[in-house]
Amino acid sequence: MSTKQAFQSRSVQPIPAELDSPRAKLVYLQLSVTGETSIDDLQSALDMQKITLFGILNTLTTHGFAEKHGDTVAPA
């Protein structure tokens, strides 16, 4: 399956109203589109510093919007 087909077959969930931060919304949307991914891939795709991503991912996992799986993170 090509990358284009994988993206087309995924349904993107609406952004939760509880997410106020534009960056948190962006990370959530990226996870919704790509599925399980590494921090390095998120960093490259979103052009964010890892320290920023770690804070956002902590918020997303605390609120049940994402799950950590070792070195990767996935939408919940």
DSSP line for 3-22: HHHHHHHSPPPPPPTT---H
Q: What pTM, to 2 d.p., does this model score?
A: 0.80
pLDDT at 31: 93
- Region 42-54: what's the mean pLDDT? 95
Name the token pair of 61.
């996992």
pLDDT at 67 over 90: yes
Q: What is the pLDDT of residues 1-44, one digit of tens each?
A: 444 555 555 566 788 889 999 999 999 999 999 999 999 999 99
Residue 64 has pLDDT above 90, yes or no: yes
Q: How many CB atoms lie within 10 A of CB 55?
A: 14
Residue 55 CB contacts under 8 Å (≥ 6 apart), including other chains: none
Smallest Cα–Cα separation from 64: which of 28, 34, 23, 35? 28
Q: Give rounded-to-5 percent helix, strand, coil for the chain.
A: 55, 15, 35
